[in-house]
């Protein structure tokens, strides 16, 4: 039996670890330079264990959803 999400060690435990992962996802998907990307907002959902990082680059904005336990990007949504 595997432990629940609350008992598992998180690979993205803090905002400091989550932001670079989100920025790298934007760089890969949109081909922009990392120094052109600004962090607009970060939020952690305690119930699901997901990080949400809002980033701005050029005229675009995107929300990157990440699983904090696996340390992976689950969705990039342009707004």
Mean pLDDT computed over every residue of the chain: 90
The count of structural domains within the chain is 1
CA–chain centroid gap for 4, Å, is 21
CA atoms within 13 A on the CB side of 6: 2
pLDDT at 31: 95
Residue 3 lies in a domain: no
Any domain includes 32: yes
Instruction: With respect to residue 2, please indicate whether it lies within any of the assigned structural domains.
Output: no
Domain-located, residue 1: no
Residue 6 lies in a domain: no
Q: What is the pLDDT of residue 10?
A: 76
> What mean pLDDT comes out for the span 36-43?
97
Cα 51 → chain centroid: 5
pLDDT of 8 reads 62
Q: CA-to-CA distance for 62 and 6, rounded, in angstroms?
A: 28
Instruction: Establish if 9 belongs to a structural domain.
Output: no
Q: Is 60 helix (H, G, I), strand (E, B) or coil?
A: strand
Q: For the domain that residue 23 is a member of, what is the CATH number?
A: 3.10.450.260
- Domain membership of residue 70 as a residue range: 15-78
How many residues comprise the chain? 79
13/35 Cα distance (integer angstroms): 24
């Amino acid at each position: 039996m595997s432990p629940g999400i609350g008992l598992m060690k998180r690979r993205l435990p803090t905002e400091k670890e989550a932001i670079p992962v989100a920025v790298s996802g934007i760089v890969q998907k949109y081909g922009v330079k990392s120094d052109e990307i600004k962090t607009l907002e970060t939020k952690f959902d305690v119930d699901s264990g997901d990080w949400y990082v809002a980033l701005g680059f050029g005229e675009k904005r995107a929300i990157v959803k990440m699983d904090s336990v696996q340390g992976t990007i689950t969705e990039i949504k342009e707004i």
